[in-house]
Amino acid sequence: MGQSEQRTGRKHTMIYHTPVLMSEIIEGLGSLEGKVIVDATYGGGGYAKEMVKRGATVIGIDQDRDAIQHAEEEHIPGISVKYGNFKNIDTIVKEAGYEKVDGVTFDIGVSSHQFDTPERGFSIRFEDAKLDMRMDQTQEWSGRDVVNAWSQQELTEIFMRFGEEEKAEIISYAIVKARKEKVIETVGQLKEIIKHAGKIDIDRAIVRVFQAIRIAVNDELQALKSGLTNAKTILKPEGRILVVTFHSLEDRIVKQWMDKQSEWKVITKKPIIASADEQKRNPRSRSAKLRIGEQL
């Protein structure tokens, strides 16, 4: 994962987000001179900046106000960044003045900045961080609400569906029992509950439970399905959708969606993965998979 720009106290360091599979994304888009591309997960604008260098106009979308502020501070000609959820990509693009575009990129998941900013609650590294996990911080409910208000059955279901955690019932029982004694507020509290839940693979369970809560908080999988479907409606003929995912749930959705489309060509029969060199430079890229499809 790349070094990120810390927003705590508005202190700036070097890089907001390190995008993965950059050269593969650019190659997959083809010639960019005069093209209009939507970067549906703008983040730090890594993909978008490279597209503009190659002659494209870019419409960026992000639901994280930090990313919007970062883009406004950089103010790069040729890039226009809009606040919103990419599930509404068709509406956002049309409001920006475009009926059709030449390509759409998605980099699904959490940015380096989000992971590395303790108060966002995305990372299991920061024990004292609040259980937030909201990508859109204007959203009212957070990870804290999921952990403290959802029923044991609901928690079991999301740990199984979104975390693929086989000990989901044991963990959800432990959470419900613990919150009767004290409200679960922090990353560290939740980790301790999982550690003492019973006979489980603790490290794996912690990662899977946090992933499941984050996906539930942000409704990520449904947003991905809607985003793909709505992106296709604004593509020109020969326009492409490129999607980078980081776990099997997302990759499966993208693969199945691309396989089912009519008037459509799947460019990547198998997903593209990062080179050995990139995986060494950026560990986050190790789980990345890129799939590409083209409008006929």
Tens digit of each residue's pLDDT (9 = 90 or more) over 100-110: 999 999 999 78
The CATH architecture one would assign to domain 127-218 is Orthogonal Bundle (1.10)
How high is the pLDDT of residue 2?
35
CATH number of this structure's domain 8-107+220-295: 3.40.50.150
How high is the pLDDT of residue 115?
80
Q: Could you read off the pLDDT tens digit of each residue along the chain, which spans 296 residues?
A: 333 333 333 333 445 667 899 999 999 999 999 999 999 999 999 999 999 999 999 999 999 998 999 999 999 999 999 999 999 999 999 999 999 999 999 999 787 778 888 889 988 999 999 999 999 999 999 999 999 999 999 999 999 999 999 999 999 999 999 999 999 999 999 999 999 999 999 999 999 999 999 999 999 999 999 999 999 999 999 999 999 999 999 999 999 999 999 999 999 999 999 999 999 999 989 999 999 999 99
How high is the pLDDT of residue 116?
81
Domain range summary for the chain, segments of one domain joined by +:
8-107+220-295, 127-218
How high is the pLDDT of residue 16?
64
3-state secondary structure the chain: CCCCCCCHHHCCCCCCCCCCCHHHHHHHHCCCCCCEEEECCCCCCHHHHHHHHCCCEEEEEECCHHHHHHHHHHCCCCEEEEECCHHHHHHHHHHCCCCCEEEEEEECCCCHHHHHCHHHCCCCCCCCCECCCCCCCCCCCCHHHHHHHCCHHHHHHHHHHCCCCCCHHHHHHHHHHHHHHCCCCEHHHHHHHHHCCCCCCHHHHHHHHHHHHHHHHHCHHHHHHHHHHHHHHCEEEEEEEEEEECCHHHHHHHHHHHHHCCCEEECCCCCECCCHHHHHHCHHHHHCEEEEEEEC
